[in-house]
Structures are given as structure tokens and as C-alpha cells.
Structure 1
Amino acid sequence: MNNQRTRFIFDTMPVRGLHVQAQEVWQHIVARKHYPTAIRRALGELLAAGALLSSNLKLDGTLILQVQGQGILKLLVVEATSHHTVRATARFDETANIADDANLSDLLGDNGVFVITLQPKEGEQWQGVVPLEGGSIATMLMNYMARSEQLQTHIALAADDHSVGGLLLQRLPEQELDDDSWQHVTTLAETLTATELLNLDAQNVLYRLFHETPPRVFEPEQLEFACTCSRGKVSDMLLLLGGQEVGAAVAEEGSITIDCDFCNEHYTFDEQDVNALFGMDVVAVMKRESVKIQ
């Protein structure tokens, strides 16, 4: 299966580009949780966008894209790393009846925001938060790039049950390009259909669009799914919650289970696990407190 990101550049004009297509990676993500069609499409498009934009990571770290809303769709999040790994998840009202053709604005409701976070392994985190502008992930990102990065960018995204695809064209900063040339290359890119984006590899897409002025194409990079969750990280989270809260939950239920939103891994901590984690019998303490209250 094709899980590749391909860079290209035009020698005749200061325009760079990226093509991405992910099949196995995407199927791995959607197999973990049932997403309604409209939610799945939006998440897949954001996954493709994350794979495209993370190509600019200069340092070891992670690019996180989030779309947050107050409607049926609460959160889309994609994490893409400098090691060419990605993961993605969505949170939404699972009781709602969601139309297959619902657009992003309908799903998010009012006051939606787009959050982009750069999280280097070493150094300070950077985060930008802007209101959502546009009814699709691609439009939203193009508006963000124009406003925040002052870079003219064309983005096309697509997703279905089996694959996600994306194409990005961007004017190189600090280099002159006449508007007619930029208009010409983006007009060609706009003829690309979602079906072609999902089913054609980079070589065929670029020939289909730019055979008259072919770009220089670089060796493709392989993308992989990877989740960074671990039992150790969940243990750290429980420690932050505190012995009182965790002990009370285990005293009542017998154990506590934390599920990873990204890979659906289940981490269960029983009474022995929790007491060992806190270095004391927090469960017995909370059982005695419960008896006192009664």
C-alpha cells in the first residue's frame, strides 16, 4: 500500500510542492474506532494536511493540528513527527445523527478554532490559535497560511474509507513570482479531482497536472502510524490526578481503566497496581473514608 510523501520543486519558478497519499496508515486509524462518514472525511483530510505541513519540521519534534468546535464535532487532532510518523483521532457526540454530507462548519457549530502546535523534543513549545475561516479543512488551512505565514498556498485534500491524499503548492518566500505564473500553476492544480488525489501516486498526479513544465521530484518519504502512549505515561497521569481521586475510583469499581484515544489501547490498574504506584494503600484509605461518610 502507498504511504508516501513526495517533495517537488519547479526549476522555472519559485514554487515548491508536496504530494501525500496514505492508505495503510489511514486504514489502521479508522479500524480502531467507528467514525461516521462526515467525521471520518474531516479527520482524514486533517491527517493528510498534517503529513504535508510536518515536512517543514527542521528539528526533532512533533507538529500538532487541532480543530476544536462546540457542535456535534468537538475535536479533530493530528500529530505528525519529524520521524515521519502520524496518528489521529476525533471526539464527537456519538449519540447524534450525522448526515454523510455534513460540512465542517455544520459539524463544529459556532466559535470553532484552529490550533497549530510545534512541540520540539528540546526547547520551547510554540502554539498559534486562530478562528476558523472556511467550510473545509483545505480552505481553513489556506486562510491560516495567508494570514499567519504570509505565504500564498494552494492545498487540496481528500479522504474516503480506504485512503487519504493531499497536494500542496507554495510560493517560496523572498523570491519574486509574477501573479500570472502563480495563477497558472494553481489553476492546473484545481483541476485535480478527489478521486485522482486518492488513487493516483505522485508520479501520475504530477504528470497529469504539469507535464508541460514538469517539476523536479525528490525521493519519496515513507509514512508510518505510531502511537506514543504507554503504561508509564498513564501512570504519570494518574499520579497527577492524585491518590485521593484514583483511590476512590478503584475502591468503588475495583480497578480503573484508561483508553488511548489514538490507538484504543486499554490500560487497567487494579488495587495492587494503584497502591504500588502511590507507595501506600490509598484504596484502603478511601474505603475507610467512604464508610465514615455513610
Structure 2
Amino acid sequence: MTQSDSAQRFLFENTDMRGERVQLDQSLQDALAPHAYPDAIRTLIGEMASAAVLLSTTLKFEGTLTLQARSNGPVSVLMVECTDKRTFRAIARWDDAQLSPTDIDLHALLPEGQLVMTIDPVKGKRYQGIVALTGDTLGECFASYFEQSEQLPTRLWLSSNGEKAAGFLLQALPAQVEADKTARAERWEHLTVLADTLKDEEQLELPTEELLHRLYHEEDIRLFDAEPVKFHCNCSRERTGSALTTIDPADVREILEESGQIDLDCQFCNTRYIFTEEDVNKLLGAGETRH
């Protein structure tokens, strides 16, 4: 039986190699439910969400990691935010006029796209890295990102069918156990070559313990307890009201004249927040909203 909606860390004993496995089921369905996404986009969001959770586990910080793919093609924006609490939310923007039912290839959906990773810690400086979407899969694009950014060697394998998703990560840690560079490189190649044999159905269906046994039955692996992963949108009436105060007061007055109220929808979860003229007066000050 699979351990759905969880992230599980593991270590290769007596090495400087670690890994992480994530499985998304109900959490992914919750993130997708507010939107009528085409199948191809549902699949991409599943892969991106898996990657966001996996990468957030590699960072020792309190805050938010955001992955965003952008292009001028059928899919203009694909974004997932993941917190250090392993909660995530996702959004996609696409053009029906450009989107074909046969477009399932990454480059057909996001031609000449860019992948942006942003880290917003509660304490410390914001970090952002950008890489072109040149790989055939999102997993390959992330591998290119880590190669170009000169961070720790990291590989991701991502699977999604639009209903559930899964991801597998391997990372080479700074040398402590094995100092010989050649030996480290050989072990890294050995572990990643075996991970390259992963099939989508294995990723999506097998429990982590069974999956690791199939791949690395000759390795001594320490598997840690699984931690829950959930969909969660952090929108609120207070935050939405704060956003309203950034709009030109003249535009606010015009909307109130036409509709008698202002409706603002969260782009992630589609929750609607309604602000009456009285609400707006309290937010902006009565003098700013009167004629």
C-alpha cells in the first residue's frame, strides 16, 4: 500500500549521498480542484509540485520556495509555491487558442521557456536562480539548473498522470565519508544510472521502501519516517484587503459605482472575497473613497 501525500528522506549508509521520495494524491487533487485544467497541464502541475516539495526538503530554512516556468507558448505560467511545512499551492495560465489536445511535450507547451527558482526565507536574503527549459523533461531541466548554479550535484525524477504525482531525488552531499573524488563520482554515477531505470508506474504506485529495494537492494539504506504533504492556500480576507489598498483609489471608486461592491478572487484556490463600499471605506479611509 502506498504512503500517499508524504515526503520521505533516506540516506545511503557510509556514503555522502542522500535521497528523498515524495508521493502526492489527495493533496494534488485538492490543488487542481478549483480549476478546469486540460490534462496536459494537470500532468505538468503534478510534476512541478513534486519537484517543489523535493527541493524544499534540501533547504534548511523557514520560508517559501517558488518554482515558476514561463514561456510565450500555450502555457504562459506554471507556478508552485511550497513552504518549509510541506504545504503547497499551484497555478497555471494557458491560452486555449494555442493549446492543442496533442500537445503533451514539454517544449510544445512551454517553447523557449525559462525555469525560475525563488527562495524567500523568513530571515535572510531572497534568492533567485534562472535556467532555460532546455531538457526534454522537467526533471532534466532541474538537473541543468543545478549544474549551472554549481550547487550540490542533484537529480530529480518526476512522474504524474494528472490525478497523482511522485518524485525521486538524489543528492551528493559535501565530502565527509568518502574523500576520494573518483570514488565519489563513480558512486554517484552508479546510483543515478539505477534511478534512470525508474518507470512512471513504479513511481506512482510503489511504497518508498519497496521502490528503494528494487533499485538499491545491494545498498545499505537508512529510511526515515514519512512526513505529511498537504495542499494549503494562505490567502485570507486580510491579505486580499491589503492588496486592494495598492489599487488606484480612482479605479476603486469606478468599480464601486458600477457594481456596488468589489469581488476579488484568489488565483490559487478561487476563494472569493467581497468588499462593500463600507469595507473599502475602512480599508482606504472614508475621505479617499467619497466623491
In the superposition, the TM-score normalised over structure 2's length comes to 0.91
Cα displacement (A) at 1:56: 2.2
Partner amino acid for 1:280?
A
Structure 2 counterpart of 1:2? 4
Aligned partners of 2:80, 2:285: CA distance in 1, in Å?
36
Deviating 4+ runs (over 6 angstroms): none
Partner amino acid for 2:75?
L
Q: Are the structure 2 counterparts of residues 229 and 191 from structure 1 closer, same or farther at C-alpha, using a change threshold of 3 Å?
A: same
* Pair 1:246-2:252 in alignment: yes
Aligned partners of 1:47, 1:64: CA distance in 2, in Å?
10
Aligned to 1:42, which of 41, 44, 62? 44
Structure 2 counterpart of 1:157? 158
Say if 1:207 and 1:214, in contact at 8 Å, map to a contact too: no
Structure 1 counterpart of 2:124? 123
Aligned partners of 1:168, 1:157: CA distance in 2, in Å?
9
Structure 2 counterpart of 1:62? 64
In the superposition, the TM-score normalised over structure 1's length comes to 0.91
Structure 2 counterpart of 1:289? none
Cα displacement (A) at 1:137: 1.0
Partner amino acid for 1:52?
L
Structure 2 counterpart of 1:141? 142
Say if 1:28 and 1:225, in contact at 8 Å, map to a contact too: yes
Structure 1 counterpart of 2:108? 106
Deviations 1:64-113 (A, max 9, x none): 11111111111111111111211111111144443255212111223x21
Say if 1:71 and 1:109, in contact at 8 Å, map to a contact too: yes
What is the count of residue pairs matched by the alignment?
284
- What is the identity percentage for the equivalent residue pairs of Structure 1 and Structure 2? 37
* Structure 2 residues not aligned, in runs of 5+: none
* Pair 1:27-2:29 in alignment: yes
* Pair 1:271-2:277 in alignment: yes
Partner amino acid for 1:242?
D
Aligned partners of 2:152, 2:126: CA distance in 1, in Å?
22
Say if 1:250 and 1:283, in contact at 8 Å, map to a contact too: no
* Pair 1:234-2:235 in alignment: no
* Pair 1:15-2:21 in alignment: no
SS at structure 2 position matched to 1:213:
coil
Say if 2:66 and 2:82, in contact at 8 Å, map to a contact too: yes
Aligned to 2:85, which of 83, 86, 90? 83
Deviations 1:15-41 (A, max 9, x none): 111111011100101111111111111
Aligned partners of 2:18, 2:168: CA distance in 1, in Å?
11
Aligned partners of 1:181, 1:167: CA distance in 2, in Å?
17
* Structure 1 residues not aligned, in runs of 5+: 286-294
Structure 2 counterpart of 1:288? none
SS at structure 1 position matched to 2:170:
strand
Cα displacement (A) at 1:150: 3.9
Q: CA-atom RMSD, angstroms?
A: 1.8
